[in-house]
Amino acid sequence: MTDRLADTLLRLAARIAPSERRPWIEAVRAEADLIGDRSEALRWAAGGLLAAMGWAARKDLVFLAALAFMGYCGLLWVQDIYLQAAVAKGAPFLDAAVASQIWCYLPISALFAAWRPDRAVVVGALMPLFAWIVFVRSLLMGIPSQWSFDLWCLYESTKYVFVGTALGAVVGWALRRAVPKRPTTD
Amino acid sequence: MPAAPRRLSPQTLEVLTALEGGAGDWLYGLEIAAVTGLKSGSLYPILARLADHGLLEDRWVESDRPGRPRRHAYRLTGAGRAALRAARLDPAAFKLGAAPA
């Protein structure tokens, strides 16, 4: 029986993978089912998820953009480490640095939502993910000054993401209504 | 959709070699991974690509234990064996999906 977490990863992989590649994810799942060691099965499943992400990125530009965004979040995460250090020292440039970081959410979420308004909800949910992760992490670390700061960051990011996603989705839908669909050739 | 010709990576060569080592037997993903040392995240895209190019054939095998999912098994095709020979002769010039010279 596949480990529950490994099974979840592979279910996610099957959702992400393009339809013609789903049998390959089933193949990964069948092998994962036979791996006795839990951590090894998890690694195997994580590999399946990575493969699915690679296939999806080649097929779907939106997914590729989402991956790029996750990379961007990774960069912000690194930056956040320096910001946390700055909080501890009370550095004066902090507000401007955080504000500029949060302001990035608005145009990015607007562009994503305008590009694929049918996925605006996904965009809206994904965008503040980084802020959530940082907040939960600081909660777990148990330093009140950090988690109150991160809660503020989360509130600000969510606000800008909401505005950006809503604006983008409205513009995207309006554009799609205004521009007629190209006829398909076959 | 036909894939564009691409250079054969060392990992792909390893997978082809592992399948050749099966001597016509059907091999499972775990067996190929054990021989090549590749992780699933690298192995399955390679297998899928090789199948796209007709270099390996695949089939589903019912598990002998009830309730277990079917396993996916692979073996080289004639084209796969020819490609492996060509790649060994001139690895730098060989391209996956290119028309044979």
ipTM for this model = 0.86
Same domain, A96 and A54: no
Answer yes or no: is A128 within a domain. Answer: yes
For residues A128 and A162, what is the distance between their CA atoms, to the nearest angstrom? 9
Residue A36 has pLDDT above 90, yes or no: no
Same domain, A163 and A80: yes
Q: For residue A140, what pLDDT band results from cuts at 50, 70 and 90?
A: confident
In chain A, residues with a C-beta closer than 8 Å to the C-beta of B44 are 24, 27-28, 47-48, 51
Predicted pLDDT at A161: 77
Give chain A's domain count. Answer: 2
The residues spanned by each domain of chain B are 8-89
> In A, what residues contact B, Cβ < 8 A?
21, 23-24, 26-31, 33-35, 43-51, 54-55
In chain B, residues with a C-beta closer than 8 Å to the C-beta of A29 are 69
Size of interface A-B (CB pairs under 8 A): 61
In chain A, residues with a C-beta closer than 8 Å to the C-beta of B33 are 31
For residues A108 and A128, what is the distance between their CA atoms, to the nearest angstrom? 11
Answer yes or no: is A88 within a domain. Answer: yes
Same domain, A55 and A71: no
Q: For residue A45, what pLDDT band results from cuts at 50, 70 and 90?
A: very high
Output DSSP code: residue B93. T
Same domain, A47 and A94: no
Same domain, A65 and A28: no
Question: Do residues A110 and A168 lie in contact, with contact meaning Cβ atoms separated by under 8 Å?
Answer: yes
Same domain, A88 and A167: yes
Same domain, A33 and A89: no
Predicted pLDDT at A16: 83
Predicted pLDDT at B37: 93
Long-range contacts of residues A62-69, Cβ cutoff 8 Å, at least 24 apart? A62/A112, A62/A115, A62/A116, A62/A119, A63/A16, A65/A112, A65/A115, A66/A112, A66/A126, A69/A108, A69/A112, A69/A126, A69/A127
Same domain, A70 and A154: yes
**Mean pLDDT for chain A?**
75
Same domain, A66 and A147: yes
Name the residue in chain B with its Cα closest to that of A48. Answer: B41
Question: Do residues B16 and A20 lie in contact, with contact meaning Cβ atoms separated by under 8 Å?
Answer: no
List the domain range (segments joined by +) for residue A52: 4-59
Answer yes or no: is A183 within a domain. Answer: no
- What H or E segment, with its residue span, contains residue B72? strand B71-76
Instruction: Look at phi and psi of residue B23 and say left if phi exceeds 0, alpha if psi is from -120 to 50, else beta.
Output: left
Rounded to 10 degrees, the C-alpha dihedral A73/A40/B22/B76 comes to -30
Same domain, A149 and A125: yes
Residue B1 has pLDDT above 50, yes or no: no
Answer yes or no: is A20 within a domain. Answer: yes
Structural class in CATH, domain B8-89 = mainly alpha
